[in-house]
Structure 1
């Protein structure tokens, strides 16, 4: 039931935000909350900037109706209201930096003092024991959260950028909070994720509405509070440096910008065009691709955090520094040293019409061949299982084949459906057997189910790339049979946890979805070739009949 509860929160936030955004845009036009272009901004026409109103209302609605309100949640909500009103005032009447900072300090201070949200130690980054903050715990927490608020606010300079980075961060927070049994953070982060996705439906390039400071300050506030929740509210230990990795893009970008401003004698809070996204735009990269690159870098940091969540504090800091230095080192080389020249993806041309994308499409011809070999490996791997398991699987498949043969004799036009159904059945049985009986079998010193993980990861990358690049998503579900299969597969998370854990059904479900996608791609191509061959034969037959008739007429 806990998973259905999270689904309710997510859908409520997403739907309510997507409904409220158009009304927020109309309100912005009426009250003068419209962002006009200038020399520092990248948009070319006036755009409503009260999208934060829709995000805030949908988050508040979801939290009040679905989340338990304890003292920490009360502190979070009080601070959220103050930070939202501060941003809203800035959107409408333009606060000075000092006034905005006072509002941020009031909001974060309320959350920290009222909700008891604070970081008490900095872990053991040097291996000499935890670094206790003691008296400095409260001021340090306030300073860190306010810093994140401004980092996200500074990142909000392109359509979909701040929302995309925060959505990736929310997914990471959700995954780690689930695995660490953090029941305070999980519903809050799910509510924010649903709201962000609902807003991004209108905020992708070219945006119909902006977050505004009411939205960007709220997102930064949530990222800061969620970071403290993750580090201090989990039942299993979570490193305080994991949130730094998850939010590596806005944190490192702000630090680099501040260092450069100090280096060249400019004011620290004076707006300029030295942020990561501005530098990418300066290389000639389009607006949309710039956003994708920055969100992709954020995704990289999040993957590192999720898979490295059990690493030590010192190792996590090293990963953050190495990844950050690599990313910004490449950027420095491209902008200052002229590496690769200019990329020339100008004026936000549709990505699919660019030369680089067309070249990528040609390369995807090899992906289908790789997918075939990977599917073949899935079919062959069960042969490595114990003999009694193979015998049980073979018995089940032979019974299915016999039933299919009987149906085929009665309805020959069902040949294609029966073939597809048997392939799906064989793959599902193979995946289930590998997950439940392959954990004691080794292949070249590696557990068989880990080899299976690698194969399905490669299959996911290849099939996903093929679907995205060649726009094949419409081929995945085309018949009632496909809908039925997908419904059966996706119903697995609703089964009681004890049963799913016993038979590893969640892993089986994920791999089955990947298998179905790869199989669909291959079958569609094979059926296309078969249809082309039949058509060619029919045309040849017609041509032959026509020539024979003509010869008969000539002889007559």
Structure 2
């Protein structure tokens, strides 16, 4: 399973960075062409026109990652073929608009293509009622599979009503499917989950409240389609031991919301497909709960279902079904009671639309966190002094590499003094990594008494870590530490170094070295970004320290 886990990791990173790069480009294109989702007071909660083509980035990232690393078997080809049909259907709806009948026709066609090519059917329903397993014949499994997947597609589409809501629920579901397949499956579903998870997370960065882009129908239809067939693949493939009820628990929130809303619409004599404000998130908004907290509540409900699925996946299907229906029924009865007697729950009315960062307490913490910059300057200075005084002996190859880093750093100082420059950040990371490697070689060198270089460095890193964490949490709006694709690329490269080979990892203690390099990089970046003069000081100090350490090491 380790090769599959490694492959999943690289596929996830590829999809993540592809989405992080694609979403801003699609957003600019949508703003330029007017492909926007306009506000609608009757059923939509956003107040300004917003691009809605984020789903295109999800699909492209998912497809690119799979094409880069995975040879497609028949089932994956079937999913790709059906996904392409869904993608075209959703894109046409977002750009020109489609009638409900045409959208359903596209969804059904995609399901039939995937089922026919990949031989993916929902036929074994498990022991739902305690009288033995229910196994559907092929003539019944085909329409039932279409019904289930089309239902899942529209469940995700209908819950996509608040910023970050559908994306977050999808992330929870995909992560749960990944863990289930990791422990009980063949690994095929794992890889697909990793690719889609990377694409959705990359999109979600730009979709959290206040959203800069929506996934649109192209995203919600595609995600629902893939979730539906991933659930089938997870439970129906030969050798799988996952109960068919487990994905229902994982996706319980969008499923029960869709069933509840459509049932109410039909009981009231209306069409089940006419949009309104009767969804779960609308009920929380009607209670006075604001946008952010409503999304967090539904995340919590989805996470509760995912945890139950992971803990109870070996229980009989009839117990899982009974528990799911009982808990869902009690929850909706309680919610209905609160809606009718909202005056008895004044606490719900106190939720504010203002974000946490606008509170006085948060601003006070920002002022205190600014003091961490001075602390980090002192700790970084002590670490550089420690490296200069006790740098280890460098080999010829290490010296050449260190001098190359020094040379590139000198060029950067001459070319740019912008603390936000990505190449400058790359220099800080490389210089810190080289310095740490050279310092590791002098770990046993005594400084004072029993205090050696390794122990002194550990103390400095231990003091540095909480200051870095506090400053990142309570950063100011203009301060960007872990927000650009380049930052995530550095973290991904660091993780790749750690897991590249068990032998290399053990021989060089890579997790420890890379962890300290990332911590030092963040500390240097925090100091450098705080002021342009600090950026020059940091760069100059790193260059001087490297030169001295290399010269002393070669001596």
Is the 1:404–1:418 contact (alpha carbons within 8 Å) kept by the matching residues of 2?
A: no
Correspondence for 2:131: 128
The 1:347/1:43 distance shift into structure 2, 3 A limit, reads farther
CA deviation string 1:66-119 (max 9, x = no partner): 223111111100110000110111111111111111111111111111111101
Equivalent positions of 1:221-236 (< 5 A) are 221-233=225-237, 235-236=239-240
Correspondence for 1:104: 107
Correspondence for 2:327: 323
Is the 2:234–2:240 contact (alpha carbons within 8 Å) kept by the matching residues of 1?
A: no
Q: Find the partner of 2:12 among 5, 10, 13.
A: 10
Equivalent positions of 1:159-178 (< 5 A) are 159-178=163-182
Is the 2:4–2:187 contact (alpha carbons within 8 Å) kept by the matching residues of 1?
A: no
- 1:323 is displaced (CA, Å) by 2.9
CA deviation string 1:149-198 (max 9, x = no partner): 00100011111110000011000010001111232211111000000000
The question of 1:202 aligning with 2:242 is answered no
For the residue of structure 2 that corresponds to 1:272, the secondary structure is coil
Correspondence for 2:429: none
For the residue of structure 2 that corresponds to 1:129, the secondary structure is coil
- 1:471 is displaced (CA, Å) by 5.7
Correspondence for 1:409: 449
- Whole-angstrom CA distance in 1 between matches of 2:334 and 2:158: 22
Is the 1:151–1:251 contact (alpha carbons within 8 Å) kept by the matching residues of 2?
A: yes
Correspondence for 1:441: none
- Whole-angstrom CA distance in 2 between matches of 1:259 and 1:26: 40
Correspondence for 1:85: 88
Q: Find the partner of 2:247 among 238, 243, 247.
A: 243
- 1:467 is displaced (CA, Å) by 8.2
- Whole-angstrom CA distance in 2 between matches of 1:189 and 1:5: 12
Q: Find the partner of 1:280 among 258, 281, 284.
A: 284
CA deviation string 1:271-316 (max 9, x = no partner): 1001011111111111111111111111111111111121111121
For the residue of structure 2 that corresponds to 1:344, the secondary structure is helix
CA deviation string 1:437-496 (max 9, x = no partner): xxxxxxxxxxxxxxxxxxxxxxxxxx9xx9899869x9xx9xxxxxxxxx9999886665
Correspondence for 2:141: 137
Correspondence for 1:35: 37
- Whole-angstrom CA distance in 2 between matches of 1:157 and 1:293: 14
The question of 1:24 aligning with 2:64 is answered no
The question of 1:66 aligning with 2:69 is answered yes
Is the 2:445–2:453 contact (alpha carbons within 8 Å) kept by the matching residues of 1?
A: no
For the residue of structure 1 that corresponds to 2:329, the secondary structure is helix
- 1:202 is displaced (CA, Å) by 0.7
Is the 1:145–1:224 contact (alpha carbons within 8 Å) kept by the matching residues of 2?
A: yes
Is the 1:67–1:188 contact (alpha carbons within 8 Å) kept by the matching residues of 2?
A: no
- Whole-angstrom CA distance in 2 between matches of 1:32 and 1:90: 15
When structure 1 is superposed on structure 2, of 409-418 and 285-294 the one drifting more is 409-418
Correspondence for 2:294: 290
CA deviation string 1:502-534 (max 9, x = no partner): xxxxxxx9xxx9xxx9xxxxxxxxxxxxxxxxx
Equivalent positions of 1:229-378 (< 5 A) are 229-233=233-237, 235-338=239-342, 339-341=344-346, 343-345=348-350, 348-351=353-356
Is the 1:152–1:216 contact (alpha carbons within 8 Å) kept by the matching residues of 2?
A: yes
Is the 2:444–2:453 contact (alpha carbons within 8 Å) kept by the matching residues of 1?
A: no
Is the 2:58–2:200 contact (alpha carbons within 8 Å) kept by the matching residues of 1?
A: yes
Number of corresponding residues: 418
Tell me the C-alpha RMSD between the 2 structures. Answer: 4.1
- 1:256 is displaced (CA, Å) by 1.1
Is the 1:32–1:92 contact (alpha carbons within 8 Å) kept by the matching residues of 2?
A: no
Is the 1:167–1:193 contact (alpha carbons within 8 Å) kept by the matching residues of 2?
A: yes
- Whole-angstrom CA distance in 1 between matches of 2:297 and 2:174: 18
CA deviation string 1:338-360 (max 9, x = no partner): 252361355621136569999xx
CA deviation string 1:110-133 (max 9, x = no partner): 111111110122101233221111
When structure 1 is superposed on structure 2, of 213-222 and 27-36 the one drifting more is 27-36
Equivalent positions of 1:359-508 (< 5 A) are 408-409=448-449
- 1:41 is displaced (CA, Å) by 0.7
- Whole-angstrom CA distance in 2 between matches of 1:163 and 1:468: 28
Is the 1:334–1:341 contact (alpha carbons within 8 Å) kept by the matching residues of 2?
A: no
CA deviation string 1:327-379 (max 9, x = no partner): 32332222123252361355621136569999xxxxxxxxxxxxxxxxxxxxx
- Whole-angstrom CA distance in 2 between matches of 1:417 and 1:496: 25
CA deviation string 1:194-245 (max 9, x = no partner): 0000001111111111101011100110111111011112634110011100
- Whole-angstrom CA distance in 2 between matches of 1:311 and 1:130: 14
For the residue of structure 1 that corresponds to 2:126, the secondary structure is coil
Is the 2:446–2:453 contact (alpha carbons within 8 Å) kept by the matching residues of 1?
A: no
Q: Could you tell me which runs of 5 or more consecutive residues in structure 2 were left unpaired when the two chains were aligned.
A: 364-442, 483-492, 520-555
For the residue of structure 2 that corresponds to 1:122, the secondary structure is strand
- Whole-angstrom CA distance in 2 between matches of 1:414 and 1:178: 38
The 1:66/1:340 distance shift into structure 2, 3 A limit, reads same
Is the 1:3–1:494 contact (alpha carbons within 8 Å) kept by the matching residues of 2?
A: no
The question of 1:44 aligning with 2:29 is answered no
Is the 1:182–1:233 contact (alpha carbons within 8 Å) kept by the matching residues of 2?
A: no
Q: TM-score, normalised by structure 2?
A: 0.67
